Amino acid sequence: MAKASSTISAPKREKDPKKQIVITGMGLVSVLGNDVDSFYDKLLNGESGISLIDKFDASDYTVRIAGQVLDFSAEGYIDTTKDQHFDDSWRYCLLAAKKALQEANLSPQVLETVSSSYHRIFTVHQNQLL
42-46, 62-66, 87-91: least confidently modelled range: 87-91
**What integer pLDDT is reported at residue 116 of this predicted model?**
67
**Does residue 3 fall inside a structural domain?**
no
**Does residue 88 fall inside a structural domain?**
yes
50 has pLDDT over 80: yes
94 has pLDDT over 50: yes
13 has pLDDT over 80: no
74 has pLDDT over 80: yes
101 has pLDDT over 50: yes
CA 123/CA 85 separation, integer angstroms: 9
**Does residue 130 fall inside a structural domain?**
no
Number of domains into which the chain is organized: 1
81: which DSSP letter? H
Taking residues 19-43, report their average pLDDT. 87
pLDDT cut 70: percent of the chain above it:
75
**What integer pLDDT is reported at residue 129 of this predicted model?**
46
**Does residue 97 fall inside a structural domain?**
yes
Q: What's the angle, vertex CA 114, arms to CA 110 and CA 119, rounded to 5?
A: 155
**Does residue 119 fall inside a structural domain?**
yes
Task: Show the domain range for 104.
Answer: 36-124
18 has pLDDT over 60: yes
**Residue 53: CB partners within 8 Å, gap ≥ 6?**
64, 65, 66, 68
Q: What share of the chain is helix, strand, coil (3-state, %, to 5)?
A: 40, 5, 55
**Does residue 115 fall inside a structural domain?**
yes
**Does residue 26 fall inside a structural domain?**
no
**Does residue 105 fall inside a structural domain?**
yes
Which run of H or of E encompasses 80?
helix 80-83
